[in-house]
Each structure stands twice: as structure tokens, then as C-alpha cells.
Chains A and B, each alone.
Chain A
Amino acid sequence: MTDDVPFLDRIPGARRHWYVALGVLLIVWPIAFGNFWARIGVGALMWIGLAQSWNMIGGYAGYLDFGHGAYFGIGAFAAGIAMVQFGFPFLVGFALALVASAAISYLVAVPTLRLTGAYFAIATWAFAESMKQAALVTGITGGTFGLSLPRSPDTLIGIAVPFEIGETFFYYAMLLLCLATMALTYYLFERHEFGYRVKALRDDQDAAESLGIDTTRVKRQVYVLSCVVAAVFGSVHAWYIVYIHPNDVLAPIITDRMVIMALLGGLGTLTGPVAGGLLVFLLERLSSVFLGSTTFYLPLIGTLIMVTVLFAPSGIIGILRGEVDRDDVRKNVRELGEKFDLL
């Protein structure tokens, strides 16, 4: 009987002790370390989720989406508008964020997914910038004044809930969403046939087409999926930080961070965005805490990206997995040296 087997041995995988330890750590985190670290945890989990949402379209499908941050903002404003302008509870706003982001992303997908590479990147960036401009001039978003959301127990489902909606609550909410995103990515892109179609599309669109894959349909599916995930995090983030402004939740830096996190970690891998997200988020936080500079992490990260692309194109995960070893780097450096042939 399996009842005789100790609990630990029933978990698959060779590193099961680590998984259990990680699980326990994630669950006790806000209780054990207090509000400051709970807040760090909320941010880290949210950014891991967002990086993963970008990884779906950017990493797995190979479409560099430089307007992904717009859906974070759309989710935030959908929840904000529902709660402030119409007085709905948060869950209605959450549902609205799903619907609005799906609808808008589909409308954007139809024309822009005809483009590839840099053209797709710049078209989506243009879309995001337009969204920000539009939010700044319309009344329903609060325009340049922004929106202040309510955060009382009865704004979750409309009736008072018997727990406090504070740092701990949001920690567990983000943990749940982040794990759900990871599970969804794992199932859809690593285990399901859908993932193979997406990767075939990324590697060679014509070949994928010749195999009978409706690439247009697959592209749209990935795009809408990744946008909805970003909007989900946006709506919860709006409720968490309570005050939203177009210049904050629709800022281009949000997209930049998602892109950087996924890239540094390793494009098109399940764990890449986790590694990249943690690294970038912590670098940013630590540089602002210890150096008192909120921007110093940017040149640092720019350098990291360049070095990663030059010597380890598969990212941190590639290095951890041993895909890039010392000989590769040495060969890389030698090849690079030959290209400096100026005068």
C-alpha cells in the first residue's frame, strides 16, 4: 500500500527534498518574516508571473512584444474603473479585466501579428504608448488624476469577508496566481500539443504551415493568452497598491522589465522567467535599499543583457543546466576577437 511509503517519497523527482522545503518556505514566508519581506514577496511573485506571461509570446512563440505592459495597465484600469466608477466588488473588476484584455488583445492581434521581428516590436510598443496617451485624456480612467481604489473587506466579493485584506492576503493571492501561471505554462507549453505547435511556429513558420498548423490561429491564441495573464496581475496589483495612475501602470518600464526578466533567465523555458524575475527584482530592490539609487540597476541590467546575449544566449537557465561551459565561452571570445578588425 502506498500508505506505508513516507509522504516525501511519494513526490516525484530526484530533488524532492528541495521542492518540499521551497513549498514550506513559500507558505510560511509572510508569517515568518513580517510585513517588509511579505511586501518583497508580493513584488517578486508578481514580476515572476508577469515575466512568465511575456515569455509565452516572447520566448515560446518568438514574437518580441514591446507593448505587453499595456495589458498590465488595462487589467489595472479595468478593475479600478469597475470598483471606483461603478462601485462593483473586486471580483467583478477581476472578471472585467479578463474580458477587456482578451477583447482588446484579440483586436490588436489581428493586424499586428502579420508583422514579425522589429516591426512587431515597434507596432506593439506604439500600441502601448497610445493606450497610455488615451488613458491620460479620458475621463473614466481619472485622466491625469488617477484612480483611488477602496481596500476594505467588503470590496472583495461585495460582502464583508472574515479576514484582513492586507500584506499577507496579497502575498497569498499573488502566490496563488503565480503558481497558476507556472502550472498553466508547464501544461500548455511543455506538455500539451499546443506547445509543440507554438514552438514549430517560432522555429520556422513556413515549415509549421506545411505541417498543417494554422499558424495565424496559434499566434493569436498565444498572444491573447499571454495578454490575459498580464491583465490578471495588473488587476490584483491595482487593488494592492490602491492608487493607480496612467504614468505608473502604463509606463514603458513595465514592459522593459518583463522583457529583461524573461531574457536574462532564458527565453522559452519554464524556469527562466523565475530566475530572471527574481534576479532583476532583487537587483532593483537591493540597489534602491543599499545604494539609495532607484535607477542604478538599469545600466547594470543592460550590461547583463549584453553579456548574456554575447556569451550565453540561453540565459541563466542555460548556464545552470550546463548548456554553456568554459570552452564555449572561450570559443566565443576568440570568434569575437576576430571581428575586431578595424583599420
Chain B
Amino acid sequence: MVDIGLFTQIVINGLLLGGIYVTIGVGFSLAFGVLEVVDFAVGEYVMVGAFMGAVLAPLFGAEGIFAIPIVLVVFFALGALIQPLIHHVTTGDRPHPLLMGLVFTFGLATFLRGSVLTIFGPNNRDVPSSLLTGGVAVPGVGTFPVVRTVTAVFGVTALVVFMYYLYRTRGGMAIRAIAEDRTNARLMGININRYQSIAYGAYAALTGSAGVFIGMTFTANPGMGLQYTAFAFFMVVLAGMGYLPGVILAGIVLGLTQSFTAVYISGNLVLLVLFAIIYLVLLVSPAGILGKGEWAT
């Protein structure tokens, strides 16, 4: 017997969570499109973002949400500085550029995880937000937890701003041109290095600030990064490589899967269920559930 009230509550929680996953997925997908490298450090950006929230919150009277602007700026700078390094290892006359790109971001992930683990120890930290506790009950529908709602609103807003930049400005056009064809973009006089740095910086900023919200919703832990790396891959695989609208659907599927598994099966088995889905999608439909992406091989 399925409890309808509980069911709609799970749907609400899952959808709200999906909002923040979408921002991670879109950034990750763009970083892949522009840089042609799959970033293993994505989950560690989420993790570092969450820890920055935990550290900065006391400065603002235990309000993690006010840390967001600082996180955005810091991560944009970090990303803009890291991108040339990644570009360097994936170009030039070195053997196996894709492998080297993966390895470099793997080293970066190890560095970030190790640093946080050494500085903060292995325990959980809270990202406090007294403003955002509790929930708003909507009669006949369910309760909207404030943290998750604000998270989803931020996620959607960030996404809209980002998409506006990408599709309505010259800079965004340059970035899309690079993603389309790097050589031709250079022939058109686009400064590849600069726009790649901007794209990667924007991606890092989106991911890091998503981390603050994830830290508020759940908790900050030095080992949490890997899970979000897997989530990012999950979304791209599900969406189909390079197909941005698919990412939105994939993020929602991810949020719903997570909240349904946690309630009806077990919180410990969320990852297992996700992996089963990834496996199936990769094997049955390598171009994503909508079949519109590039083949994932």
C-alpha cells in the first residue's frame, strides 16, 4: 500500500534536490564540451565548496547562504587558473592526451581531498543556516523544506543566468563555437585560451556554490566528493554527451531516484541503484535516455 502523502512528499524532495544537481551537470557537460576533457575533480569542487560554506558561515552569524558570493568569486578565479594547466596536458605532442587530462584532474582531486582531510580531519561538518530550517506546508500537496526549496531556486536561477550568457552574449557564442570546433573557432579570431578559462571558471563557480547548498542540505565531509563525481557522470551519461537539455531531465531523474531509493529501499543503497541505472543506460542506449547525445564510448 503506497501512502499518497508520503509519495508526493518524496516527489517534492526529489525534484527540489534535482535542481541543484542540474547546475552541477550543466557545468560539467560544458567543461567537457569546451575542454574535451572529463573532469574527475568535479565532486571535489562540490566538497571544497561545502567546506568553504562551513568555514565562512560563522563570519556571517552562522548563515551559510551569505558565503555564496565569496565562493563564486574564489572558484571562478581557481577555475580560470586551473584551466590553462588542463589545456596544457591535453594538447601538444604528448601521447594519450585524453588519458593525461583524466590523470591530471585525478591528481587535482587527490590534492583537494587530501588537503581538506588533513586540515579538517575525517569528520562531518555542518554548514549552518538557521534562516533556512523548517518547511512550508502547502495544504493538499505536502511540505516544502525551506533549505531544499532555496537550493532549487538558486540552482534554477544560476542555470538561467548561465544559459543567458551562453546563448545571448558574444562571450557565450565564443564558448559555444569553441565547443563546436576548436580549430575553426581559432580561425574566426576567437581567443581560445581566454574563453576556455572563462568557461572553466564559470563551471567551477557553479559547482562550488552548489557544494555550499549541498552542505546545507546534507553535511560537509572530506570523502563526499567521489559521490558527486559519480553523479555528474551519471547525469551526462543519462543526458547523452553534449546534449544540454538532457542534463535537466537527468538531474531530475537523479534527484527522484535518490529520494525514492532512500525511502523505499535503503539510504545506504542509493549509489548501488544509481550504478545499476548507469550500467543499463550505457549498455542499452549509449547516446542517453533521449538518444540525442554523442555516443558514450
Q: Give the contacting residue for B100; candidates A136, A309, A335; CB below 8 A.
A: A309
CB distance from B144 to the nearest CB of A (A): 31
Q: Give the contacting residue for A306; candidates B81, B111, B272; CB below 8 A.
A: B111
CB distance from A300 to the nearest CB of B (A): 7
**In contact, B233 and A301 (Cβ under 8 angstroms):** no
CB distance from B119 to the nearest CB of A (A): 9
Contact with B along A145-173 (1 / 0, CB 8 A): 00000000000000000000000000000
**In contact, B110 and A260 (Cβ under 8 angstroms):** yes
**In contact, B114 and A306 (Cβ under 8 angstroms):** no
Q: Which of chain B's residues 215-253 have a Cβ closer than 8 Å to chain A?
A: 226, 229-230, 233, 237
In the complex, chain A residues whose CB is within 8 Å of the CB of B177 = none
**In contact, A301 and B114 (Cβ under 8 angstroms):** yes
In the complex, chain A residues whose CB is within 8 Å of the CB of B106 = 259, 305
**In contact, A64 and B102 (Cβ under 8 angstroms):** yes
The interface stretch among B7-15, B125-133, B158-166, B274-282 is: B274-282
**CB-based nearest B residue for A343:** B194
In the complex, chain B residues whose CB is within 8 Å of the CB of A125 = 226, 230
| Bound form: Cα–Cα A297–B118 in Å | 9
Known: A126-B278, A260-B110, A309-B104. A339 touches B118 (CB 8 A): no
Q: Give the contacting residue for A309; candidates B38, B89, B113, B278; CB below 8 A.
A: B89
In the complex, chain A residues whose CB is within 8 Å of the CB of B136 = none
Q: Is B139 an interface residue, CB under 8 A from the partner?
A: no
| Bound form: Cα–Cα A263–B107 in Å | 10
The interface stretch among A89-97, A115-123, A232-240 is: A115-123
Q: Give the contacting residue for A111; candidates B94, B191, B279; CB below 8 A.
A: B279
| Bound form: Cα–Cα A180–B44 in Å | 38
Q: Give the contacting residue for B230; candidates A62, A122, A306, A339; CB below 8 A.
A: A122
Q: Is B187 an interface residue, CB under 8 A from the partner?
A: no
Q: Is B95 an interface residue, CB under 8 A from the partner?
A: yes
Q: Is A299 an interface residue, CB under 8 A from the partner?
A: yes
**In contact, B297 and A302 (Cβ under 8 angstroms):** no
CB distance from B48 to the nearest CB of A (A): 12
CB distance from A124 to the nearest CB of B (A): 11
Q: Is A295 an interface residue, CB under 8 A from the partner?
A: yes
CB distance from A335 to the nearest CB of B (A): 7
| Bound form: Cα–Cα A336–B92 in Å | 10
| Bound form: Cα–Cα A269–B19 in Å | 46
Known: A64-B99, A125-B230. A305 touches B107 (CB 8 A): yes
**In contact, A313 and B100 (Cβ under 8 angstroms):** yes
| Bound form: Cα–Cα A134–B276 in Å | 13
Q: Give the contacting residue for A295; candidates B38, B117, B279; CB below 8 A.
A: B117
**In contact, A305 and B103 (Cβ under 8 angstroms):** yes
**In contact, B98 and A119 (Cβ under 8 angstroms):** no
Q: Give the contacting residue for B88; candidates A117, A130, A339; CB below 8 A.
A: A339
21 A-B pairs with C-beta separation under 8 A: A62-B99, A117-B98, A117-B102, A122-B229, A133-B271, A133-B272, A202-B96, A263-B103, A298-B118, A299-B110, A301-B110, A302-B108, A302-B109, A303-B111, A306-B111, A310-B88, A310-B89, A313-B100, A335-B88, A340-B84, A341-B193
In the complex, chain A residues whose CB is within 8 Å of the CB of B115 = 298-299, 302
Q: Among B80, B109, B111, find the residue whose CB has the most chain A CB atoms closer than 10 A.
A: B111
Interface residues of A (CB under 8 A from B): 62, 64, 111, 114-119, 121-123, 125-127, 129-130, 133-134, 136-137, 202, 252, 256, 259-260, 263, 267, 293, 295-306, 308-310, 313, 332, 335-336, 338-343
**In contact, B96 and A119 (Cβ under 8 angstroms):** no
Instruction: List 7 tightest A-B contacts by C-beta distance, closest first.
Output: A298-B114, A302-B111, A305-B107, A302-B110, A118-B38, A339-B84, A126-B275
**In contact, A119 and B282 (Cβ under 8 angstroms):** yes
Q: Among A298, A308, A310, find the residue whose CB has the most chain B CB atoms closer than 10 A.
A: A298
In the complex, chain B residues whose CB is within 8 Å of the CB of A117 = 38, 98-99, 102, 297
| Bound form: Cα–Cα A136–B229 in Å | 22
Q: Give the contacting residue for B114; candidates A115, A134, A252, A297; CB below 8 A.
A: A297
| Bound form: Cα–Cα A117–B102 in Å | 8
CB distance from A265 to the nearest CB of B (A): 13
Q: Give the contacting residue for B117; candidates A111, A116, A298; CB below 8 A.
A: A298
**In contact, B297 and A119 (Cβ under 8 angstroms):** yes
**CB-based nearest A residue for B38:** A118
Q: Is B173 an interface residue, CB under 8 A from the partner?
A: no
| Bound form: Cα–Cα A339–B88 in Å | 7
CB distance from B238 to the nearest CB of A (A): 12
| Bound form: Cα–Cα A338–B194 in Å | 11
In the complex, chain A residues whose CB is within 8 Å of the CB of B81 = 340
In the complex, chain B residues whose CB is within 8 Å of the CB of A133 = 268-269, 271-272
**In contact, B102 and A310 (Cβ under 8 angstroms):** no
In the complex, chain B residues whose CB is within 8 Å of the CB of A259 = 106
Q: Is B29 an interface residue, CB under 8 A from the partner?
A: no
**In contact, B191 and A121 (Cβ under 8 angstroms):** no
Contact with A along B127-153 (1 / 0, CB 8 A): 000000000000000000000000000
**In contact, B194 and A342 (Cβ under 8 angstroms):** yes
**In contact, B114 and A299 (Cβ under 8 angstroms):** yes
Q: Give the contacting residue for A129; candidates B89, B103, B271; CB below 8 A.
A: B271
In the complex, chain B residues whose CB is within 8 Å of the CB of A129 = 230, 271-272, 275
Q: Give the contacting residue for A119; candidates B99, B100, B108, B296; CB below 8 A.
A: B296
**In contact, A305 and B117 (Cβ under 8 angstroms):** no
**CB-based nearest A residue for B222:** A295
In the complex, chain A residues whose CB is within 8 Å of the CB of B85 = 306, 310, 336
